[in-house]
Amino acid sequence: KQEVTQIPAALSVPEGENLVLNCSFTDSAIYNLQWFRQDPGKGLTSLLLIQSSQREQTSGRLNASLDKSSGRSTLYIAASQPGDSATYLCAMYTGGFKTIFGAGTRLFVKA
């Protein structure tokens, strides 16, 4: 069964701290992996997309890595801000138009 697991389920950090969100997946035949942000009651905002041939992607204070051999991806957020508070979801796409989401990590950045 294809699964995506995110750890931790929730995280609270003080403003300015660097943090890492973890995502593990069971299928090494991953096509791409995507990180999203979701604010309460809202839709998804795509943050970073990593193709299977890539090791990492960067956008501003965000850096996402992908290690297919170990079935892991990490999202690194530098210098966290209260505005970063949201739920972060990772999703893997294995081809055949199947995307599987993790349960998410709820992040709270304290001012």
Given the rule CB under 8 A, which residues bind another protein? 31-32, 34, 36, 41-46, 49, 51, 89, 91, 93, 97-104
Q: Please give the Cα distance from 54 to 36 (Å, whole number).
A: 18
Cβ nearer to another protein, comparing 36 with 77: 36
Q: Please give the Cα distance from 65 to 74 (Å, whole number).
A: 5
Q: Please give the Cα distance from 23 to 91 (Å, whole number).
A: 9
Shortest spacing between CB 79 and another protein, in angstroms: 27
Phi, psi of 9, deg, nearest 5: -75, -30
Shortest spacing between CB 18 and another protein, in angstroms: 25
Shortest spacing between CB 16 and another protein, in angstroms: 27
Q: Please give the Cα distance from 19 to 31 (Å, whole number).
A: 26
Cβ nearer to another protein, comparing 30 with 111: 30
Residue 102 CA, chain-centre distance (Å), reads 9
Shortest spacing between CB 76 and another protein, in angstroms: 21
Cβ nearer to another protein, comparing 2 with 28: 2
